[in-house]
Amino acid sequence: MAVNLLVSLPRSFPSPIRSEFVEFDLPFALRILPRTLGARSFQLSITVETPSVTEASGTAAERGPERSRSGLGLGRYLTGVAGGWWDKWMVMGAAGSKLEKALGDQFPEGEHYFGLENFGNTCYCNSVLQALYFCIPFREQLLYYYSNNKNLGDVEENLLTCLADLFTQISSQKKKTGVIAPKRFVQRVKKQNEYFRSYMHQDAHEFLNFLLNELADILEKDSDAAKDSTETSSSSEKLANGPNHSLPNGVPKEPLLTWVHRNFQGILTNETRCLRCETVTARDETFLDLSLDIEQNSSITSCLKNFSSTETLNAEDKFFCDKCCSLQEAQKRMKIKKPPHILVIHLKRFKYVEQLGRYKKLSYRVVFPMELKLNTTVEDIDSEYSLFAVVVHVGSGPNHGHYVSLVKSHNHWLLFDDENVEMIDESMVQTFFGSSQEYSGNTDNGYILFYESLGGKS
Ligand SMILES: [Zn+2]
């Protein structure tokens, strides 16, 4: 029996993709209904409609309400099979121009909005990269470092050069929108860290943490190497310190702070007060991000309050007081001594549940404001911050799902979903707070928040 396949494509289909589509081998099984058995041939027609970009969310296989239609309901299958190039076509053709159209005259001068190709569960990486790209001081200092460092001779490839290369590639594009494949960078990540080598779903926060620490290490090593070769202030060290850093002569040098530290590092003070002698012991520790425990129907402000709340150490958990020379009951408190320029807040949405023997995702509603006040110990002055990026975890479980990022650029909010970039209204941001009921459908939740200090560079 012969099957005639008619595929109607909209005119707007670019012709190379048209022919690619027509030649496409359709590997689906046809289920022949009893009443068609008698026929010598029949026609199967599939109509493909131009998809609208707003329909795209979730993974390629889940995506696309009726991107194509067929009489036998095979459209969805077809979409799944052809999903890879379809997404690319959408972005390169429709979505790119759509974003440019949406922004029109307001498209920021010199800015580039590029989607990042996904190499199989690399959305954890893409979402973090977009947040960092739109962290302007970080981007500028990375590009500055790289453009100067390139001239110092042959530098061995490392995570820093791969990231700088990627950012340079994006920022030097002639086109304003499109898609870039962060292939070298992803390969480097996998080469360097076994943890990210598999195709499994990874944790975006772990990745961010790994990346920032790695970048800081590379800059420190660069600086050490430069110190070894020349005792005088070297150009490489200056670069590690970034463009705006200079020490007046005669001021004793502090331990080297790279520009990664100067952007993200803050200092916490861990204060312990002995309840017998009242002696306060303070210990400082640095952080690149704050991990906060979350509660249902709460806010970042209340999570931060809990983070800094007083805890009593007693019973099994007593504190050794140096003055009393014995274990004593004590009160412990964490305070922010030096707020970072870029405040990264990680919400602990993945919680180990002992009864279940596994991690569980908490979709709790945690409100994160556009403007945040951070209480510090510095003369009790609040530091003010403004939200510029959110990495969102999509999905109900910890071991699967998807990551996207929301980014504020030149007062517009954009949603980056791997290859796709679209404009969103600021009011959309609050749909990512979480859900006030445990079993609601809302599983797209803010996971890592990026705030920039309004107080200028610290
Ligand atoms: Zn004491």
Same domain, 441 and 397: yes
Mean pLDDT (whole number) for 284-298? 95
Report how far ligand 1's centroid is from the alpha carbon of 368 (Å): 40
Q: What is the CATH number of the domain that holds 174?
A: 3.90.70.10
Structure tokens at 145: 């470092």
Same domain, 172 and 93: no
Report how far ligand 1's centroid is from the alpha carbon of 201 (Å): 48
Which of 170-184, 190-204, 422-436 shows the lowest mean pLDDT across its residues?
A: 190-204
Mean pLDDT (whole number) for 150-169? 84
Same domain, 288 and 370: yes
Which of 55-59, 88-92, 301-305, 369-373 shows the lowest mean pLDDT across its residues?
A: 55-59
The answer to whether residue 251 is domain-embedded is no
Which one of 67, 90, 106 terminates a domain? 106
Same domain, 168 and 97: no
- Determine contact, residues 323/302, Cβ cutoff 8 Å: no
| CA 405 distance to own-chain centroid | 6
pLDDT band, residue 328 (cuts 50/70/90)? very high
The answer to whether residue 69 is domain-embedded is yes
Structure tokens at 1: 């029996």
Same domain, 34 and 176: no
Its domain, for residue 124, covers 114-234
Selected residue with higher pLDDT from 323 and 251: 323
The answer to whether residue 346 is domain-embedded is yes
The answer to whether residue 245 is domain-embedded is no
Indicate whether 228 pLDDT > 90: no
Out of 123, 135, 162, 274, pick the active-site residue. 123
Out of 112, 393, 402, 412, pick the active-site residue. 402
Look at residue 35 in the predicted model and tell me its pLDDT: 54
pTM for the complete prediction? 0.74
Same domain, 445 and 306: yes
Indicate whether 96 pLDDT > 80: no
Share of the chain above pLDDT 70, in %: 71
Same domain, 23 and 153: no
Report how far ligand 1's centroid is from the alpha carbon of 279 (Å): 6
Report how far ligand 1's centroid is from the alpha carbon of 316 (Å): 17
Mean pLDDT (whole number) for 76-98? 47
Same domain, 226 and 307: no
Mean pLDDT (whole number) for 320-325? 94
Same domain, 435 and 331: yes
Report how far ligand 1's centroid is from the alpha carbon of 326 (Å): 8
Look at residue 70 in the predicted model and tell me its pLDDT: 29
> What is the full DSSP assignment across 244-279?
T--PPTTSPPPSP--HHHHHH-EEEEEEEEETTT--
Report how far ligand 1's centroid is from the alpha carbon of 321 (Å): 5
Structure tokens at 190: 């996998």
Mean pLDDT (whole number) for 2-26? 48
Report how far ligand 1's centroid is from the alpha carbon of 292 (Å): 30
CA atoms of 205 and 372, how far apart (whole Å): 21
Which one of 81, 106, 131 terminates a domain? 106
CA atoms of 288 and 46, how far apart (whole Å): 53
The answer to whether residue 310 is domain-embedded is yes
Report how far ligand 1's centroid is from the alpha carbon of 286 (Å): 26
Give the torsion through C-alpha atoms of 189, 193, 197, 200, to 10 deg: -100
Which of 135-149, 155-169, 252-266 shows the lowest mean pLDDT across its residues?
A: 252-266
Look at residue 353 in the predicted model and tell me its pLDDT: 87
Same domain, 403 and 340: yes
Mean pLDDT (whole number) for 404-420? 96
Same domain, 125 and 99: no
Run of H or E residues at 107: none
pLDDT band, residue 226 (cuts 50/70/90)? confident
Q: Is 412 a catalytic residue?
A: no
Same domain, 275 and 203: no
Share of the chain above pLDDT 90, in %: 52
Look at residue 21 in the predicted model and tell me its pLDDT: 41
Domain count, the chain: 3
Q: Is 402 a catalytic residue?
A: yes
